[in-house]
Amino acid sequence: GRSPLEAASMGVELGKDDVAVRCNLVSLKHHGAKSEMEDYSAGHVSTGEAIELLQALQARVSDRNVHFHPGVSYRHLMVWPGGNDAVLTTPPHDIHGKNITEYLPRGEGAEFLLEMMEISREVFPDHPVNRKRIDAGKPPANSIWLWGQGKAPRMMTFGEKYGVTGSVVAAVDLIRGIGVYAGLEVVNVPGATGYIDTNFRGKAEYALRELENKDFVWIHVEAPDEAGHNGSAPDKIRAIERIDEEMVGPILARARNDGDLTVLVLPDHPTPVAIRTHSQEPVPFTFYPSPPGLLSFPGKRYTEADAKATGQFLDAGTRLIGYLFAGKDS
């Protein structure tokens, strides 16, 4: 699961028997005894509001062997010492508008997760944070949703595998945590939020600055994915436009001027607005300049349709790293 990676980003050290569990703050809509997933992010609840809610929940379960660690906005961490990472869970962004009953944690160890979620539904609804949100017309963060569990992984670093140094520029703990395990330096950019209001230009500027003493920089932008999950085509279009104008543009200008920089652009997965969750279609990628071993298609646009029309397909995304670092398949 993703949560151990997020724990690394947050500086939470996991013991060998600790299970990290992603803890979303969500909005549930109740219909009698049934509940529906109204918003996987509780209206992108603020970090300050989330901290208050999690502190109240931690106080309520102070007699239990469990620890809640605030993250950013709706994304948080629960550490479950001695927990069972084989329990089956479901990402809340996959069940928007659905009855939650069949998607609740199940299998061995599920009872504890269900208990924590139930306690949160007792603590959160009347909390001052939620009373203020409701008065302001915002969705309440009236429950936690636990998923993405796992134990600390073991990974080779980029230095060990490729002999390179690097940094990661991202607002999302999952990406930052991957960077930690991969031996990358995590760069903090003021105003980077992991949402449509993020500091696009600042992320590009900080990345270019990192290249003064690093071999490569990995930049991640969450905004298009969040727009897809929210079902907002205008936000997704605007996010892509700002990435193009404020990030790709300046970075390509640097690459063209200096001649010593290779740029690789790609999404990690599609998040179509129509379905509001991830899908499994291949994603387009583009290099500048084109590395040896890959065909070049001048005049093509960077779109899914044009990428598919080239007929050039890599069956594993990891192969791209070989082209990026060594100019050859990996």
Residue 259, pLDDT score: 86
Range(s) of the domain holding residue 51? 3-150
What pTM value is reported for the model? 0.82
Residue 273 has pLDDT above 70, yes or no: yes
* CATH code: domain of residue 223: 3.40.720.10
pLDDT tens digits, one per residue of 109-134: 999 999 999 999 999 999 999 999 99
- Mean pLDDT along residues 240-255: 96
Same-domain pairing of 31 and 106 = yes
Residue 325, pLDDT score: 85
- Cα separation, 263 vs 302, whole angstroms: 14
pLDDT tens digits, one per residue of 168-218: 999 988 999 999 999 999 999 999 998 899 999 999 999 999 999 999 999
248 half-sphere exposure, CB direction, 13 A CA radius: 15
Same-domain pairing of 83 and 141 = yes
Given 95, 127, 150, which residue is the final one in a domain? Answer: 150
Residue 328, pLDDT score: 47
Same-domain pairing of 84 and 200 = no
Same-domain pairing of 304 and 209 = yes
Mean predicted lDDT score pLDDT of the chain: 94
Residue 191, pLDDT score: 94
Return phi, psi of residue 27, to 5°: -110, 120
Given 116, 150, 184, which residue is the final one in a domain? Answer: 150
Residue 188, pLDDT score: 95
Same-domain pairing of 285 and 255 = yes
Long-range CB contacts for residues 282-286, cutoff 8 Å, separation at least 24: 282/307, 282/308, 282/313, 284/308, 285/314, 285/320
Residue type, 206: Y
Same-domain pairing of 79 and 132 = yes
C-alpha dist (Å) from residue 308 to 248, 297, 305: 22, 12, 5
Same-domain pairing of 9 and 129 = yes
Same-domain pairing of 252 and 134 = no
- Cα separation, 330 vs 322, whole angstroms: 4
Given 109, 127, 150, which residue is the final one in a domain? Answer: 150
Per cent of the chain over pLDDT 90 is 88
pLDDT tens digits, one per residue of 4-21: 999 999 999 999 999 999
Residue type, 153: P
- Nearest Cα to Cα of residue 124 among 26, 257, 244: 26
pLDDT class for 87, splitting at 50, 70, 90? very high
pLDDT tens digits, one per residue of 41-72: 999 999 999 999 999 999 999 999 999 999 98
Same-domain pairing of 144 and 266 = no
Same-domain pairing of 142 and 267 = no
Same-domain pairing of 83 and 191 = no
